[in-house]
Chains A and B, each alone.
Chain A
Amino acid sequence: GQNIDQPTEMTATEGAIVQINCTYQTSGFNGLFWYQQHAGEAPTFLSYNVLDGLEEKGRFSSFLSRSKGYSYLLLKELQMKDSASYLCAVSGNKLVFGAGTILRVKS
């Protein structure tokens, strides 16, 4: 089976940097995804990691360590519009989502 853990909520200040962690246990691994979901909207794709290391995409970066079953999403230069739920999802024989981390950005 698969088990994914991420913090329930985080709060950060506009302009700051925040790191959202995700730990997982899976019987098969084909990659790890991060999705962003604003309240009342559909999840949208942010990043994908299949090899160990850091993937950078603008203000967002994602890191993966397969041996540790660990990933994080790093958001830089936080903006108010970054307030959303961030979903970690692991791809095995199906894509399994964590419960999501609600990020609140305050001014």
Chain B
Amino acid sequence: DAGVTQSPTHLIKTRGQHVTLRCSPISGHKSVSWYQQVLGQGPQFIFQYYEKEERGRGNFPDRFSARQFPNYSSELNVNALLLGDSALYLCASSNRDRVSGANVLTFGAGSRLTVL
């Protein structure tokens, strides 16, 4: 089975531009979460979507937006890019782990955004 897939893997933008990042969850997973990971830090929660509805939002400005499509794939959009937006953007889909019963996030490989 394919894991969580993200595109593009790497991209370079300049300040003020916008970017769209894409994510396809594991087949059967209905929940998608987006995280931003700056070098040397843990992932920071941006959004969670479930069944196309926003279920949670982290402490990020309105320049960040997302949506989930009927096939459960998702897009993260960032407008008016700043240098500080340079980071690895991780998408994760979740399902209940059979052994532990926990709602476990499975991450994609990420999209590395560099803003110049």
Contact = CB atoms under 8 A, between A and B. Distances in A.
B45 A96 contact: yes
Interface string A48-71: 101000010000000000000000
A61 to B, nearest CB: 14
Contacts of A50: 100, 102
A87 B104 contact: no
A99 B41 contact: yes
A45 B106 contact: yes
Interface string A21-51: 0000000000101000000011111001010
Interface residues of A, number: 22
A57 to B, nearest CB: 9
A4 to B, nearest CB: 8
B68 interface: no
Given A31-B102, A45-B106, 6 more contacts: A33-B104, A42-B110, A43-B107, A50-B100, A95-B105, A99-B42
Interface of B: 33, 35, 40-45, 48, 56, 58, 90, 97, 100, 102-110
Which 9 pairs across A and B sit closest by C-beta, in order of nearness?
A97-B42, A42-B107, A48-B102, A48-B100, A94-B56, A99-B42, A97-B43, A100-B42, A94-B45
Interface of A: 4, 31, 33, 41-45, 48, 50, 55, 87, 89, 91, 93-100
